[in-house]
Amino acid sequence: MGLTTPGRDDSAAWDVARPQRPSTVAGVDMAGFRVPGPLAGDLRVVPHPAVMMILEFGPSTPTVDDGTGRRHRGSLVAGPGFGSGGGVRAWGQSIECVQVRLSPVVAGAALGVCPADLAGTSVSLEDLWGREAARIRERLGEMPSWSDRFAYVDALLARRYETRSPVDPALAWAWNRIVGTRGLARVDHLADELGWSRKRLWSRFHSSIGMPPKRAAKLIRFDHAVHRMVGGEGAARVAADGGYFDQSHLHRDVREFTGSTPTAVVGEPFLTVDDRAWPGVRRR
């Protein structure tokens, strides 16, 4: 999840922490956030091609409006593409949290919920894990360092992952292929390589990942494009390299996913925070 902030918010002052070593579960990454003081105005949630888990433990509880009028308070889990359209908002004060990004191909085993059941929406961790959510919040708040918190969350997810069946290896291959090509892989070619019909790939992919393969490719393509633009590359170059027909095509996708124009999106501070929290996000 990316949090876009109004101009008066100083995201450069946010404390962002990173684990010293990769997760023991492939496809899992995490970062720690401490946001001092109030967040001035609502924060727009920007979609990302991962299942996202927010484990909050700060002195106050953040709130997320999912765009349909429903509000979640506290820790939550959201599916890939959560925030599409720019209607999802979050706000709070003195926020402290561990944010976990999980590849959809490992999220089901690690979290106990199929990404398709989330389908671009969110659920509170309490609804998903019951009383354990409160215990996790308490434990994270008691720990003296980010490294302790990262180790705790990693062990928690690893234990869960080991007790559940992983996603179909063929679907994992298809997802990773789309990610590896930055959303440029053709669905008909993926089906041919798997020896499946396109209908079968669409059905199996949608039921396991939560979106059809073309939608997944579109989201991944958008994610790479917007981070390249924030890195200073022009929209024309990004569109040409990123599989878009032209700049207008890129503009439409950015508008669809964020509710904003490319010029507005790349000027928002959340992308600076995103880059600090997830090094290497501007993959070429």
In a shared domain, residues 28 and 155 = yes
In a shared domain, residues 39 and 107 = yes
Over residues 96-110, the pLDDT tens digits come to 999 999 999 999 999
Predicted structure pTM score: 0.90
Does the residue 78 lie in any domain?
yes
Task: Give the integer Cα–Cα distance in Å for 157 and 163.
Answer: 10
Which residue has better confidence, 178 or 62?
Answer: 178
Which residue has better confidence, 168 or 281?
Answer: 168
Give the chain's domain count. Answer: 2
In a shared domain, residues 175 and 154 = no
In a shared domain, residues 154 and 185 = no
Its domain, for residue 187, covers 169-277
Backbone angles phi, psi at 144, to 5 degrees: -80, -15
Task: Give the integer Cα–Cα distance in Å for 16 and 114.
Answer: 29
In a shared domain, residues 129 and 241 = no
Task: Give the integer Cα–Cα distance in Å for 262 and 123.
Answer: 29
Does the residue 190 lie in any domain?
yes
In a shared domain, residues 57 and 141 = yes
Query: Above 90 in pLDDT, residue 55?
Result: yes
Which residue has 């179909």 as its token pair?
168
Does the residue 42 lie in any domain?
yes
Which CATH number fits the domain that encloses residue 56? 2.60.120.10
Which residue has better confidence, 5 or 242?
Answer: 242
In a shared domain, residues 32 and 109 = yes
Task: Give the integer Cα–Cα distance in Å for 97 and 35.
Answer: 9
In a shared domain, residues 133 and 238 = no
In a shared domain, residues 89 and 225 = no
Does the residue 100 lie in any domain?
yes
Does the residue 282 lie in any domain?
no
Q: What is the pLDDT of residue 250?
A: 96
Query: Above 50 in pLDDT, residue 1?
Result: no
Domain boundary among 128, 144, 162: 162
266 close to 94: Cβ distance less than 8 angstroms: no
Sheet with 28-38: list strands edge to edge.
15-17, 28-38, 93-102, 51-56, 76-78, 122-124
Q: What is the pLDDT of residue 41?
A: 53
Which CATH number fits the domain that encloses residue 252? 1.10.10.60
In a shared domain, residues 270 and 130 = no
Does the residue 284 lie in any domain?
no
